[in-house]
Structure 1
């Protein structure tokens, strides 16, 4: 499952053109890797209590088949944000990753954000607040970390987190104590070194494990003799691809390749969650160039996974958790630089950018009633990776958008993910196709020794049978 965080339809279109123009083409005719998937649909992303979703409640939906409250992860709508006392076995939603482990499959998470961030945490955590990534975060809300277990602790100490075979991303600060060393000062107040604890657990199992923290060590890894891999490439989120130190930081494509090389050794198969998480961050900062570049990097990872797997036995799903407010507008000529101006307003005769945001830090207050002129004031704005694209109104960070997002799929039973669907249907269809979860009785052995034979069902009957999944 590939998750482009904040990858709205406008983002996909603009990134497609951006990628084509990087090759010297007009761009419009270009395709991203998932554009070529044969099945497409639309996902409704709202939360139980919010019209516009965040990455927390949405992760519960597309990983566990249950819609939750905004700001919560891996729990049902009975739990509102910060209601730690309501998180229990009855209100916890189990993810497709959990069910994959139960079926004997290998599992992995790969992200460009902190591995404890909202999207990847949806595979393993149950929490009333997405911001409780370390025990210090829980204590900052005047709650007891021993009762409200933080996300990093859940990853290392609880199932299914401690049984995940491959964990790659950023965020080592959430795993280390404050003042752990001169080079690596963490955020934990309990004095726990969770990286060391992770390693001790694997050692106790007699498993072959590795911890890596730079591109070279990841590249040198013997994937054929590694059962568990933890890779943390930075104290917080990984750097944007544009501007990252290539010697220190691996690409999303490289991390995905490594993960598949390890996971695919399991004859029972695997479940892998891959997130292009910094697409979302680029949009929040109205850094459109960076958001589009992160989408292109995400597409490269999808293409690599597609090349490394077989459509006959691998279901691949690419989607987004929510949209953003970036619009693609005006009447620019074919092949016009997607990061440049679309034209000149017929009202105030001032140029405007092709890409702009409804809100965010890119807002410029009019000077003496005259609108900001991107062409005059920022002659090189199309090349500046730190340029904040224009916003309609000022907000500290740009907000999410509430429109539907695309679902692209290929492989066995991909046709189930077509039409307009609830976001919570996505993992239900994936589990059905893979014979995972509480409804494995619907699967019967095939006479030709293939794994399973599944009976054709309608989307609405699946939802009726499989909701909620806990």
Structure 2
């Protein structure tokens, strides 16, 4: 008897009559011939793909922060089940991209990376140290003086030099690690506002990330910026327009939003969904949207909170409408930044909901662009210690306790367990016996999956992630590749022929 069979038999022997089959859902193939037909249809789809070797007019890079393979799989099942379909065989927009590669995510000095070096690798073509953005591996973290000698040009500077429009979108603070890698250079990813820098770094000429977005060679030329992080651009004396009891973070007294508006008199600044909806995206030359003082809301909270900020798909549609009106083409970065934050909190549901939201943004981009002239690249910067396990039956709710044939599977302590879990994080039991998930609503928005090693914040993981692509030069996304090679694939697509 296999380990799997033994595990299921142990859980079910007392509850299912001998010979009883687990109930099967009618929403997926039920016969051998039906599975053959399903596979042949997929083969036909795959056979129709033809590589496009010509130049790209546009490049759109989607990054799911922390979106490892297990997250993709669980989100696919969740998305399908939420739509009343067979989650296991559900096909997402990301799944439809024809070219796929495994991507190595280690950094210059880390077996497991953070988002700063991974985003730097994707957007500059160089692996670097954990904690630094847009700076080469020659520089130690926090070394301001050395960092000024080893700044790495980004794909966005390359695109701007070609005359292309550029845009950056993130559901995190727009000064956070991944979006910052498009335009900033810093030996410390946490230097987002001027007060975050030590006096020595300021004396040596380092600038905070928010200021680099307003004044920097690349940041000041971005045509579109949409995300969170409003507080990093406002002085401490300024009350937030949405939350009057909160104030800006800047200690230098500067209002960088006002400075951006002076630099871009024909541009539009928006900070809520109503203003965003009123913007004329096809005619606005520059657009800055800062929708929260800190990170934007998780998708699940945004949807239930009255939509005071646009969705990732809505921001993506706006960007393509705006940047696509330019004759020279564009490069756009779209980050689902809060997948990562939900995983750090040990909260799988919010991570899956934000992954589904990213899929909606990818679907919007594929709908609005021409595969013949637009390279669409979807990847992750790193993974998380997140697992799908336990032999649950097909169709079992992905957020629920593991069960087979409608009967819960139990561990050696006699208690149930969820299909989703973490190797470490805040969901670990520190004192006393393990709580029984069968007594909790594991599908609840605030439920934390159980973890093994107790940590205040769940950690990143070091396995390969997936890159998927369609459009010009997408066929180069194949095999197992280095993360910084993604930059060169995108840059090659932008080369004139």
C-alpha contact (below 8 Å) 1:39/1:410 kept by paired residues? yes
Aligned partner of 1:215 in structure 2 is 273
What are the Cα deviations for residues 43-89 of structure 1, in whole angstroms up to 9, with x where unaligned? 1011111110100011110000001110000011011110111112x
- Give me the CA root mean square deviation: 1.3
Aligned partner of 1:159 in structure 2 is 217
- Quote the offset at 1:252 in angstroms: 0.4
Aligned match for 2:390, one of 327, 330, 336: 330
SS at match of 1:243: helix
- Counterparts of residues 228-243 of structure 1 (less than 5 Å): 228-243=286-301
Aligned partner of 2:197 in structure 1 is 138
Alpha-carbon spacing, 1:112–1:346, altered in 2? closer, same or farther (3 Å): closer
- Quote the offset at 1:242 in angstroms: 1.1
Aligned partner of 1:150 in structure 2 is 208
SS at match of 1:66: coil
Aligned partner of 1:372 in structure 2 is 435
Aligned partner of 2:45 in structure 1 is none
Is residue 2:442 matched to residue 1:381?
yes
SS at match of 2:269: strand
Q: Gapped runs of 5+ residues in structure 2?
A: 1-60, 404-408
Aligned partner of 2:423 in structure 1 is 358
- Quote the offset at 1:348 in angstroms: 2.3
Alpha-carbon spacing, 1:10–1:287, altered in 2? closer, same or farther (3 Å): same
What are the Cα deviations for residues 295-331 of structure 1, in whole angstroms up to 9, with x where unaligned? 0000000000110000000010000000000100011
C-alpha contact (below 8 Å) 1:199/1:209 kept by paired residues? yes
C-alpha contact (below 8 Å) 1:366/1:372 kept by paired residues? no
CA distance in 1, matches of 2:397, 2:482: 36
Q: Say which is worse superposed, 247-256 or 338-347, in terms of deviation.
A: 338-347
CA distance in 1, matches of 2:230, 2:435: 41
CA distance in 2, matches of 1:276, 1:181: 28
Is residue 2:168 matched to residue 1:97?
no
- Quote the offset at 1:246 in angstroms: 3.0
C-alpha contact (below 8 Å) 2:338/2:354 kept by paired residues? yes
TM-score normalised by length of structure 1: 0.89
Aligned match for 2:336, one of 276, 279, 299: 276
Aligned partner of 1:456 in structure 2 is none
- Quote the offset at 1:414 in angstroms: 0.4
- Quote the offset at 1:372 in angstroms: 2.4
- Counterparts of residues 68-467 of structure 1 (less than 5 Å): 68-88=128-148, 90-139=149-198, 143-144=201-202, 147-181=205-239, 183=244, 185-203=247-265, 208-244=266-302, 245-343=305-403, 344-345=409-410, 347-365=412-430, 367=432, 370-376=433-439, 378=440, 380-382=441-443, 384-435=444-495, 443=496, 452=497
C-alpha contact (below 8 Å) 1:26/1:336 kept by paired residues? no
C-alpha contact (below 8 Å) 2:66/2:339 kept by paired residues? yes
What are the Cα deviations for residues 363-385 of structure 1, in whole angstroms up to 9, with x where unaligned? 12352xx4321112x1x121x11
SS at match of 1:108: strand
CA distance in 2, matches of 1:337, 1:127: 44
Aligned partner of 1:460 in structure 2 is none
CA distance in 2, matches of 1:81, 1:346: 44
C-alpha contact (below 8 Å) 1:66/1:424 kept by paired residues? yes
Q: How many residues matched? A: 426
- Quote the offset at 1:216 in angstroms: 1.1
CA distance in 2, matches of 1:303, 1:60: 26
Alpha-carbon spacing, 1:50–1:280, altered in 2? closer, same or farther (3 Å): same
CA distance in 2, matches of 1:223, 1:249: 16
What are the Cα deviations for residues 146-173 of structure 1, in whole angstroms up to 9, with x where unaligned? 7221000000011100000000000110
4+ residue runs over 3 A deviation: none
CA distance in 1, matches of 2:166, 2:86: 40
Alpha-carbon spacing, 1:55–1:145, altered in 2? closer, same or farther (3 Å): farther
C-alpha contact (below 8 Å) 1:25/1:335 kept by paired residues? no
CA distance in 1, matches of 2:411, 2:307: 49
C-alpha contact (below 8 Å) 1:138/1:145 kept by paired residues? no
SS at match of 2:258: helix
- Quote the offset at 1:249 in angstroms: 1.1
CA distance in 2, matches of 1:172, 1:327: 34
CA distance in 1, matches of 2:386, 2:289: 32
What are the Cα deviations for residues 176-204 of structure 1, in whole angstroms up to 9, with x where unaligned? 1102137251101100000011111113x
C-alpha contact (below 8 Å) 1:2/1:302 kept by paired residues? yes
Aligned partner of 1:13 in structure 2 is 73
CA distance in 1, matches of 2:200, 2:339: 33
Q: Gapped runs of 5+ residues in structure 1?
A: 436-442, 444-451, 453-470
CA distance in 2, matches of 1:346, 1:257: 47
Aligned match for 2:127, one of 61, 67, 90: 67
